[in-house]
Structure 1
Amino acid sequence: MYEKCRSLGLFRPFEAVIHRLQRARSVSRPTLIPTFTTAVNTWQCDENDHLNVQFYTEFGHEASAHLLSELGLGPRAQRAVGLDVRAASDHIRYLREFREVDPVEVLSAPVEVGERHLLAYHEIRNPSDGAVAATMRRRIGCDRPWPDAFRACAEAVIVALPDNAKPRSVGKLDLPDLALGDAARCGLIEVGRSIVAPAECDERGEFLPHHQFGRYSDAAPLLWNHLGFNRAAMQDRQEGSVVVEMLNHYRRPLRAGDLLVVMSGLAAFTDRVLTFTHFLFEAETGMLAACAEAIGMKLDQKIRKTMTFTQEDQERLGKRQLRLAA
């Protein structure tokens, strides 16, 4: 396998991974590959004084590029062979908070390789104590079959998806391929309207994934208000809202200058958990660009614990619940 990968000039970065595996033959599974390092900035934190959800997606997005590069198919290699590689979906579980100045590292590996897709696992850690703060599972698609050498190299380092990265509360809804004109009739409400800025786009001029998560996050106060929770009053009581899991499907690309509308609603709830749905549309055509499921909870900011919804809350939530197919 090593000689096969080595024979292709584009795959030299993978040699380092092979050497690591050769030094660790006694390990039961291949070692995760370092793919991203940073520290949390003040401006990345939200009203809960912790890292906003959109930046976990940004970390995983950059880690994905480094993972593909380690396997021999970085951006330059993709351009050289004319491949169109892009994210199809992101599933993230938020397990532990990152606070201001906390160090961040991402370790990655493929968990599945198909003819035209790869499932990447990203373990987002705090290296100061080794704790896993979040897990991300990204489905990456390619417009043509993967090069044979790349696929062989990826298959050589596949790992099993850990239990804490498997879907827990998302993936149970059949989110329809709506047009914007049909959204209100389904009970969805408008919670965001904006424009894609050039600075929010990648080298291809396409809207970056983490900014989609950012639009969902920015919409959260409006959605909570719609559900009868006064977010300003909650903040005065040192109560916030958090997302503990999200699954986003990238349906169609958006570009700089596109007009955006976010339509959201409550799909399901329990006494502690709210299941939200978000639909991101291009406003001019009504085209659905992305849709997501998000699991939200109330947070007591004083003791950093989630809260229970009162019976009154639950009766009100029942009246505002969407009727989506399961």
Structure 2
Amino acid sequence: MELEKILPYQTDMRPHPGPNRQNNFGLRTQMNALETLFSFVNPWECDENNHSNVQFYFSRFEEADRQFQLLSGLSETLVGSRRVRHVRYHRELRVADLITVTSHIAFDGPHMLTVVHEMRNGANGTLAATATDGYEPSISALKTLQSRLKAFQDPMPEEAAPRGLAVSPYSQRPTPAALVEAGARVCFRGTVLARHLGPGNKADDKFAIACFTDGVAHVWERTPMTHAYLTENGYGRVAVEMKLTWISPLKAGDPVKVISGLTGVADKTFTMRHHLFEARTERLAAVCDVVALVMDLKKRGAVALPDTARKQISGLLID
């Protein structure tokens, strides 16, 4: 993907100075959206950048989705399993920030049936992150679903639409050997434990994202933006958009490994792809595409990638 052709990201990651929508804070709201989560940023959920780690955004979207399905009657029986979850990060959440999530169905979204989750700072209404969940029910069932789920429908918000990553789920089936031959590298190894399982006794989104975030520093280390470079300049690693596609389930006891590679580069952003494998059989379990940038930790804003970084990343692309 040529990232230079996409619209610029909102790369100022500082907390927003005040409300900008219509609800209890004087902010605009979706008419039929349901309140699906009330939470709080705990100190142990924050990373080296002093903001909430992305795995906890995913865990809260996962819980909000469970509550939305309970309240709306949406289920896999009606629409099939979720094909993709696409998350965009808009503003930082810091220690002690309140979290709220509202959820609704958008039939005008990027998928045949799209569930939209909007995460806000519960104290001032600032949009912190959005998630779009894609489902592909049968075309013949669509009219019935629109009628059955009418009470929970609202328009697709522009700020939740995918921007730097393709809308569709990842559909290829690369082998570990093929990825390594293309230039990707192993960056994480671990085991699925009982605490990583969701209600369906399968590893959940948080587990997959935690594997990727624990391994991603090793991907950055292959570029000129090494740990030493970031520390010296007061910079941090930041993801601004992620797309998670589950290929096959993982259960307790499964050994896993992550093989990751770089896929694109622009002036301020670059992309990478993480592949989560069940290590015993080398079965592909999940894939996560990521748009990343370098953030100035004092100014809380994006900085341009060094020329050397763009050139080096261009020479390491696996796509």
Unpaired segments ≥5 residues, structure 1? 1-26
Tell me the residue number matched to 2:11.
none
> Is 2:184 the counterpart of 1:183?
no
Structure 2 residue aligned with 1:90, among 85, 88, 92? 85
Structure 1 residue aligned with 2:238, among 229, 238, 242? 242
**Does the CA contact (< 8 Å) of 1:71 and 1:153 recur in 2?**
no
Tell me the residue number matched to 2:312.
316
Instruction: Report deviation, 1:317.
Output: 1.8
Instruction: Report deviation, 1:138.
Output: 1.2
Mapped partners of 1:152, 1:237: distance in 2: 55
CA distance 1:83–1:160, shift in 2 (3 Å): closer
Instruction: Report deviation, 1:175.
Output: 5.8
Q: How does 1:135-154 map to 2 (within 5 A)?
A: 135-140=130-135, 152-154=147-149
Instruction: Report deviation, 1:88.
Output: 2.3
- TM-score, length-normalised on structure 1? 0.80
Q: How does 1:74-85 map to 2 (within 5 A)?
A: none
CA distance 1:125–1:52, shift in 2 (3 Å): same
Instruction: Report deviation, 1:204.
Output: 2.4
Mapped partners of 1:219, 1:152: distance in 2: 44
Question: Which amino acid letter does the alignment assign opposite residue 87 of structure 1?
Answer: R
Mapped partners of 1:72, 1:84: distance in 2: 11
Greater helix share, structure number:
1
Q: Deviations over 1:1-31 (max 9, x none)?
A: xxxxxxxxxxxxxxxxxxxxxxxxxx99633
Q: Deviations over 1:76-112 (max 9, x none)?
A: xx8xxx8896432110000000000000000010113
- TM-score, length-normalised on structure 2? 0.82
Q: Which structure has the greater CA radius of gyration? A: 1
Q: Deviations over 1:221-246 (max 9, x none)?
A: 10000123321441243211100001
Q: How does 1:219-230 map to 2 (within 5 A)?
A: 219-230=215-226
Q: How does 1:120-269 map to 2 (within 5 A)?
A: 120-140=115-135, 152-171=147-166, 176-269=172-265
Q: Percent identity, please.
A: 27
Instruction: Report deviation, 1:180.
Output: 2.1
Tell me the residue number matched to 1:279.
275
Q: Deviations over 1:277-311 (max 9, x none)?
A: 11111111111111121000001111111111122
Secondary structure at 2:47's aligned position in 1?
coil
Q: Deviations over 1:99-126 (max 9, x none)?
A: 0000000001011399xx7421000001
Secondary structure at 2:117's aligned position in 1?
strand
Instruction: Report deviation, 1:181.
Output: 2.8
Structure with larger RCO (C-alpha < 8 A, sep 6+) = 2
Mapped partners of 2:179, 2:265: distance in 1: 20
Q: CA RMSD in A?
A: 2.9
Unpaired segments ≥5 residues, structure 2? 1-27
Structure 1 residue runs of 4+, over 4 Å off? 82-86, 140-143, 145-151, 172-175
The alignment of Structure 1 onto Structure 2 pairs a total of residues equal to 289
CA distance 1:64–1:272, shift in 2 (3 Å): same
**Does the CA contact (< 8 Å) of 2:293 and 2:302 recur in 1?**
yes
**Does the CA contact (< 8 Å) of 2:187 and 2:259 recur in 1?**
yes
Mapped partners of 1:196, 1:94: distance in 2: 27
